Amino acid sequence: MKRVELLAPAGDLEKLKYAIIYGADAVYIGGQVFGLRAAAKNFSFEDMKEGITFAHERGKKVFLVLNIIPHNEDIHYLEKYIEEIKDLGLDAVILSDPGTFMFVKQYAPDLEVHLSTQANNTNFMSANFWHNQGVKRVILARELSFDEISEIRAKTPPALELESFIHGAMCISYSGRCLMSNYMAGRDANRGACAQPCRWEYNLVEKTRPGEYFPVEETEDGTFFFNSKDLCMIEQIPDLIRSGLDSLKIEGRMKTIYYVASIVRAYRKAIDEFYKDPEGYVYDPKWYEELQKVSHREFTNGFYNQKPTNEDQLYTTSSYIRTYDFIGVVQSYDIKTGIATIEQRNHFRKGDKIEIIGPDYYYSEHVIEDMYDANDNLIEVAPHAKMTVKLPLGQPVKPFYMLRMVARD
């Protein structure tokens, strides 16, 4: 059985490394232009080179997004940009615009092309059209069911790969093609600058009474007309694989390294368990529990099983649920002393009960009894971002391991 690819977001070089260490088969990244996450740190050309080398040394792939819907002014920079990226060693570029596709084919004909979900790929005829143009992979629209995906797989060539989102934020607009942000905030969502007005709170105005705002009483907390729950398909890994998908994609180039690593780790475990024994596969609820320890909204299955209903919208708040704080990353471990050197990422102190997670196990608990600064002075608290902290731990740890703790009230 051909193994499905687990594809993770990487908003910067650090996230790329954590995604791969925690189990991604491939990552998708954005350069500093032409990607749909303008607010992410994104990658310089030097970062791309380092990230591609890091991935390839571990047998993993790197895809670059070029999936904005460009205007004329964008096109003027495209030829030079493609010339600069074509020899970096990228495994594919992801795009949505036919003009961008033409540029890539003209100036970098050897680059593999994946068609973005922004292109609204909802049927087998569209998928076949793009395959005939030279597209290697079609990223399907989020608005498809398992039955529709299976039919597309059955009516397209095996050489055409199919990819679909399985986890992360959902856009209220069709396959992400939204005009609300442009209209309300002057920020073009289709060129990477979405202000997420779908998450804002709204009131109702009657036509003949301008200036009078009437609350629509969904809850006492506010009114959120367009606010979707987050997609989560961890419970349906067998269905995803058997539908014929070649790649399972996680959303989140704007998210933290803790988010990326934790989500990838849970799906990696579920996928690997399936391939060990497809017929005897048993879903483990602890995978879902791990996903809930990461900042998230309530979860939905999106369109996979049925068209969404009012149960798939969030009417109470646009805020995230955060039950755990990500507090640090392991930089090194001295096996003789049992002391780990930690880079602080959030406030913690002596006496806190923490959890240690890594790519190869779920977590262990530890109470901080002693802690030291970079100069080996005893300290009571680690209050400064990215300060070096030394912690005696009861077990060996490795670089890239993470520390978390239950969020304080």
Report the mean per-residue pLDDT for the chain. Answer: 87
Pick from 100, 234, 103, 125: nearest CA to 116? 100
pLDDT at residue 192 greater than cutoff 70 = no
Query: Is the pLDDT reported for residue 368 higher than 70?
Result: yes
The whole-model pTM stands at 0.86
pLDDT in tens, 23-49: 999 999 998 776 545 554 678 999 999
Per-residue pLDDT, averaged over 163-189, amounts to: 68
pLDDT tens column, 225-272: 566 788 999 999 999 999 999 999 999 888 999 999 999 999 999 999
User: Rounded CA gap, 130 and 389, in Å?
Assistant: 52
The distance in angstroms from the start CA to the end CA of the chain is: 47
Domain with CATH 2.40.30.10 in the chain: 324-406
- Measured CA to CA, the distance from residue 39 to residue 353 in angstroms comes to 34
Angle formed by the axes of helices 98-107 and 72-85, to 10°? 30
Q: Is 227 helix (H, G, I), strand (E, B) or coil?
A: coil
In this predicted structure, the answer to whether residue 389 has a pLDDT above a threshold of 90 is yes
Third-level CATH fold of 5-173+227-304:
TIM Barrel (3.20.20)
Determine the Cα angle at 401 with ends 398 and 406, to 5°: 140
Topology of domain 324-406 in CATH is Elongation Factor Tu (Ef-tu); domain 3 (2.40.30)
> Which string of b and e fits 2-28 if b means at least 16 CB within 10 Å?
eebbbbbbbbbbbbbbbbbbbbbbbbb
**Residues 66-86: tens digit of each pLDDT:** 988 888 888 888 888 899 999
- Asked if the model's pLDDT at residue 197 lies above 70, the reply is no
DSSP state of 146: H
User: In the chain, which residues fall in CATH 3.20.20.70?
Assistant: 5-173+227-304
pLDDT at 109: 95
pLDDT on residue 202? 64
